[in-house]
Structures are given as structure tokens and as C-alpha cells.
Amino acid sequence: MTEKEKCANGLLYNANYDKQLIDERISAKDLCHQYNQLKNSDSEGRDVLLKKLLGKTGQNICIEPSFWCDYGYNIEAGENFYANHNLVILDCAKVVFGSNVFIGPNCSFYTASHPLNVKQRNEDLETAHPIKIGDNVWFGGNVVVLPGISVGNNTVIGAGSVVTKDIPDNVVAVGNPCRIVKNIDQ
């Protein structure tokens, strides 16, 4: 089994010495760099690069520079996706955003996880767990979403939160660790 196949199956894998994964990351980061250098007025060029980089997008997508990801092809964004400046998505596994998702500045979505076992960690092993974000979700600034997390529809994640557990539909959740503070009546 290749390192990429191990990753896709949620197994320990080594991304640091696998030529295929290294080449894919370099390609994605080159596209991110190119994207981040475009003028804000070049909306057509930005759209072309995002559609080339990301696995799947809706028609209406905007990611303000700077934007960085590991592979790009593992990211899916629905209609009306907006991310403010300094978005980081470590997409070793799938990261799927629904429609009408709004992300504040300086937010990060991490699918990569490293072993607690020091021997495995020092061997550069890691695992990857997908992130799924529902429709109509708003993330305040400086939010971090950890591996394997799902966030439900119509939910608000408050600024500065670290999302360590799944968050259901129709709630406001805040804090570190992120916890539900209010239900939202629809």
C-alpha cells in the first residue's frame, strides 16, 4: 500500500519522504503562491486558479489572500463560499464545506494528526481525518478546526474558538475548547 493509500484509509503514513505526496504538495503550494500574488482586481484569474487547485467548487467562491493548503484536491466548497484573509487548510484528508459558508480571517482547518507515541512521531508518521462543514455556517476570526470534526448546518462558531468535538446544527458555539452556548431558532 502506498503512503497516499494509507493516508486515504486513515492509517499511519509518512508524508515527508514519499515522492508522490511531496510532489503534490509542491504543486499545490506553487498554485497557492501564484494565487496569493494576483491583484485583487484580477477576479477572473483568481477563479481560474481556485478551480484548478481545489477538488470541487460552486460557481460563487471567494478566498482572500493569503491562502495556503497542502494538496488542494481534497477541498470541496459549495455555493457562496467566502473566506477572509489568511486561510490555512491542511487537507491531507477531505475537507468539505457546504453552501453559504463564511470564514473570518486567520482561520485554520487541520486534518493531519500526529501520534502521541514519541517513537512513531519521531518517525514522521501521521494520520489524516476528514472535516465536514454543513450549509449556512459562519466562523468568526481565528478559529481552529481539528481533525475529524463535523460542524452542522446553520451554526455559528465564535471568534477564537478551537473546535475539538463535533458541533450540531442550529447552535452558537465558542471557546477553547469550543462548546455550545446557545441554540438558534430557525
Answer yes or no: is pLDDT of 105 > 80: yes
- Grid cell locating 111: 486534518
Phi, psi dihedral angles at 7 (to 5 degrees) = -60, -50
Q: What domains can you pick out in the chain, each with its CATH number?
A: 3-183 (2.160.10.10)
Average pLDDT over residues 80-86: 98
pTM: 0.95
Catalytic-residue membership of 129: no
pLDDT value for 185: 86
Q: Is the pLDDT reported for residue 186 higher than 90?
A: no
Given the residues 33, 85, 114, 129, the one annotated as active site = 114
Give per-residue pLDDT as tens, 137-183: 999 999 999 999 999 999 999 999 999 999 999 999 999 999 999 99
